[in-house]
Amino acid sequence: MTSRKPIAVGTNDSAQSQAAVLWAARRAHRADLPLVILHVVDDRWVAEPYPWFGTLQQAGEELLKTAAGRLEGTVPVSPDTELLTGSVGGSLAKYSKRTSMMVMGSGSGHFGGTLADRALQVATAAKVPVAVVGTQDLEGRSGVVVGVDGSPESTQAVAFAAAEADREGDELTVVYAVDVPDPIIDAGLSPAAMAELIADEERVVLSEAVAGLKEDYPDLVVHQRLETERGAVAGLVEAAAGARLLVVGSRGKGAFKRLLLGSTAHGVLKHLPCPVIITRTDAALTV
């Protein structure tokens, strides 16, 4: 390990966040890293110290105690807990600087808010890999899936996914989804040969994405999958339907480089097929 920074997981006691706490605890145990369970009391609308705010803080402390207690006898970790105040997404994203990975539940309509205004905020602003966990049954699942598109972010995602798959004895599936002209629909605009030519060119991108993996991980089984019949989000969600983990980069090679979270990462989180890790190009591969 190159870092002893903890894995941190946010909780609001929803089913999704309970699943996230358990997932984070198991990962911290395997990686021999500390675990911190976080809860945020939203104080953005408190203009003065109302008496009931102390009640919210007390409830938050009890929630953290309950979350930590659920791990007893389940995962051999001794988590720390910390109560934060502020906006939920902003507070967790700021806290991420002190961690090696942030873990979030996929969201609900309860007090923690929805996926769009919680997990997406953290995934957008965090400086470390962010894992988003749903309530899917992971029993019997295997394999790591990673999306690529030739961007530096996807190169980082492949490196993370390969290390993850090799460490856990999983097979790795590298998926590249591209829009290839349909020879029937685009008749008159692009001949059938053009569609195949484009596909051949994109297979080069896919091959480059996995170049060097055999040397780094000689025992790792790597599958390459060029998806030409559906978009990136649908292709990745389908490929990861039975997987243990899906890894995507924070951004792709789209035109909107100013966006902190790309459309593919955004879309995958909206259709979570399994736990998803969003990697960052400026984050070390430590967990």
Average pLDDT in the 56-84 region?
Answer: 94
Output the six-digit token pair for 67.
Answer: 């979350």
Whether pLDDT at 112 is above 80? no
Across-strand partners of 84?
40
Q: Which residues pair with 10 in a beta bridge?
A: 38
**Mean of all residue pLDDT scores within the chain:** 82
The class of domain 144-279 in CATH terms is alpha beta
Cα(120)–Cα(245) distance, integer angstroms: 18
**Residue ranges of the chain that CATH labels 3.40.50.620:** 7-133
CA distance 26 to 23: 5
Residue range(s) of every CATH 3.40.50.12370 domain in the chain: 144-279
Strand-by-strand arrangement of the 7-10 sheet: 80-85, 35-41, 7-10, 101-105, 130-133, 276-279, 245-249, 144-147, 172-177, 222-227
Confidence of residue 69 (pLDDT cuts 50, 70, 90): very high
Question: Tens digit of pLDDT for each residue in 187-243?
Answer: 454 555 555 555 556 677 788 888 889 899 999 999 999 887 778 889 999 999 999
Q: Which CATH superfamily is domain 7-133 in?
A: HUPs (3.40.50.620)
- Strands of 11-96 (E only): list them: 35-41, 80-85
Of residues 221 and 153, more confidence is placed in 221
